[in-house]
Amino acid sequence: MNMGKDIVLILPQIIVLLTAAMALVFTMLFKHKNSMWTVITGMLAAVVITALKLNQYATAFSGTFRIDALSQWAVLILCPAVALSCLLARDELKNTPREGTVYVLLAFSVLGSLLLAGSGDIMFIVLGLLISSLSGFALVAYPKTDAATEGALKYFVYGSVTGGIMVFGLTYWVGMTGSTLLSSLQSLNNSPYILVIGFVALLAGIGYAASLFPFHFWTPDAFEGAPVSVAAHLSVVPKIGALFALAQVMKNIPDSESISLLVGIIAVLSMTFGNVVALWQKNVVRLLAYSTVAQAGYFLLAITVFKNSRLAAPALIIFALAYAAMNIGSFAIVQWAGKSLDDFKGLAQKHPITSIDMTVLLLSLVGVPPLAGFAGKFLLFGAAMNNGYAWLAIAAVLNSVISLAVYLRIIVPMYAKETLVEKERSPIIVVWKICVVVTVVAGIGVQWLLKIIG
């Protein structure tokens, strides 16, 4: 093992770690704004370093960490997402006593997600989930209100139970293979029961972090109780990190119809449950929380066929990019406008451009062309259909139709002829404007993105 070479390979992750540590120092000195700008600068530095060595594939530390498309694009997607979350948090939480702590926790949270995305070893999956989850617990509890405490407690309890189940189940894999490396999972080809037991346990841990049905029950309460900026972060960063980790596992797992079928069923249940329950929500944050449950199901279309489909990885990455932009942009507008559906009534009368921005983001979540959400879903559907999972693609298309009804519950009131008190302009407008631009450009330029991903 060449230690120097390995450190260079994981330089973006090291930059994120050092950024979190430096932000912590500023927080201890009560220089909260410096802490925020440290995190933003560190995230952008990690993006630049990753962009310079894009498509240079290798492994570090004896194969325990992978530098591949998933781990590299995780940096390119999640680090900017954290930078935008910091801007949202600054607007929402500035001058509160522990403001700087939020920026530190956001940095550590993305570090855990980056470790998950590049996992080549079971221990990295466990470590990544632990770092990401511990940060999330504290972020949700930040407001010290009853709703925040309840949400954080549910988040913690579900995380503890599913994490324990995951670690227990993964010991079967380690015991049978004699290694914690994911590359050793091929040797489980002759042990189908052990393979399934370990995978179900893994799915519990990953499913909790990704808000997959039936491990999602903490999600709406945690999102509602947390600051909106934190809800935006939790809807994107831990979810994408966890799902990329599941894809890393699927690379090396032996071909198994039962496991692929299980992932496909979870995908359908997540999409259907999330969309149907979202139809009844009056609180926009809870509506978007159930939306994230549904959207997580779409990710699983690529993961179901990840081992045997060349289209799966690009589809997963492009949908992740679209999802991050759509979700953070939507939550940014909710933070500005208000959490109730009534807060959106007549919004277009006073703020027509913002209403158009929100409409673009929500229609992209549905999958309307030529937006990024459509491009991502189109690739996901193609990956599933090309590998014998047409039924899964059909279920996803039907759920996209249901999701239109969900997002129309926000869109229609915006254009109603209601009298609305004009809202003040906010500096976070830059957040959702960036997200709208990414949503439109990524949809139109999907062919260019596919060439970059390779």
Q: How does pLDDT run across 18-32, given as a tens digit for each residue?
A: 999 999 999 998 888
Question: Does 45 fall in a domain?
Answer: no
Q: Tell me, yes or no, whether 83 lies in a domain.
A: no
In a domain, 298, yes or no: yes
CA neighbours closer than 13 Å in the CB half-sphere of residue 418: 17
Residue 245 domain flag: no
Residues 210 and 296: beta-carbon distance below 8 Å: yes
Q: How confident is the model at residue 419 (pLDDT cuts 50, 70, 90)?
A: low
To 5 degrees, how large is the angle CA 73–CA 284–CA 271?
55
Question: What per-residue confidence (pLDDT) applies to 234?
Answer: 94
| Residue 346 belongs to a domain | yes
Closest C-alpha among 279, 282, 306 to residue 291? 279
DSSP 369-419: TTSHHHHHHHHHHHHHHHTT-HHHHHHHHHHHHHHHHHHHHHHHHHTS---
Q: Note down the domain range covering 452.
A: 270-454
Residue 193: inside a domain:
no
How far apart CA 216 and CA 211 sit, in angstroms, is 4
Q: What percent of the chain has pLDDT over 70?
A: 98
pLDDT tens profile 118-163: 999 999 999 999 999 999 999 999 988 888 999 999 999 988 899 9
Asked, for residue 60, whether it belongs to a domain, the answer is no
Q: Cα separation of 303 and 267, whole Å?
A: 10
| Model pLDDT, residue 387 | 87
Rounded to whole angstroms, the Cα distance separating 271 from 398 reads: 10
Q: Any bridge partners for residue 121, and if so which?
A: 181
C-beta of residue 51 within 8 angstroms of C-beta of residue 94: no
What amino acid is encoded at 282 in this protein?
K
CA atoms of 41 and 48, how far apart (whole Å): 11
Residues 436, 360 contacting (CB under 8 angstroms): yes
Helices (H), 213-283: 219-225, 228-252, 257-278
* pLDDT tens digits, one per residue of 227-247: 999 999 999 999 999 999 999
What local confidence, expressed as pLDDT, does residue 343 receive? 85
Residue 123 inside a domain? The answer is no
pLDDT at 299: 95
Tell me if 443 sits within 8 A of 322, measured CB to CB: yes
User: For the chain, what is the domain count?
Assistant: 1
